[in-house]
Amino acid sequence: MQNITTFDSSQRYIFLTIFVAGKDGIIRDFLALLDTGAPATEFSDEALQFAGFLEETKKDVALKPGLQTQKYGRIVLPQVEICSHLISDLTVYVSHFEKSWGIKALIGLDFFRRFRVTVDYKAGHLVTEPL
């Protein structure tokens, strides 16, 4: 099924609201960045802790110069909704995110491998459908 997700085309990046079923079953929304340069989806350790998937975040993770995230683990999320598509058992990277970035997730190429994605900047639409 084809879905249309709107975004603000005046922004420098494509930001999306995504939904994650927490460990307690409660659905939480997070701001994410659509990132065609990221090989896989990443979630901030802070967001994963909030959703109950991490006991605590690593305190000694340092960002490498020039990066806004630093991967340090992997986790399987039972249910994620991206662009109105429910995805079960999505393996994501656990990352430390630069707080000033203001996002909790990067949607990477693993999403693009599951869906046909068309970006219509003029209309501010992200059109997605399963492959």
pLDDT in tens, 37-90: 889 999 999 999 999 999 887 777 666 665 566 778 899 999 999 999 999 999
This prediction has a pTM of 0.88
Averaged pLDDT, 16-20: 97
**Is residue 13 a contact partner of residue 6, using CB atoms and an 8 Å limit?**
no
Has residue 97 got a pLDDT over 90?
A: no
Encode 33-60: b = buried (16+ Cβ within 10 Å), e = exposed: bbbeebebbbbbbbbbeebebbeeeeee
**Per-residue pLDDT, 34:** 95
Residue 19, Cβ density class (10 Å: 0-12 exposed, 13-18 middle, ≥19 buried): middle
Structure tokens at 44: 């901030």
Confidence of residue 94 (pLDDT cuts 50, 70, 90): very high
- Residue 22 sits in which domain range? 3-130
Number of structural domains in the chain: 1
**Per-residue pLDDT, 61:** 66
Q: What is the CATH number of the domain that holds 13?
A: 2.40.70.10
Averaged pLDDT, 19-24: 96
Averaged pLDDT, 12-26: 95
**Is residue 72 a contact partner of residue 58, using CB atoms and an 8 Å limit?**
yes
Per-residue pLDDT tens for 103-121? 999 999 999 999 999 999 9
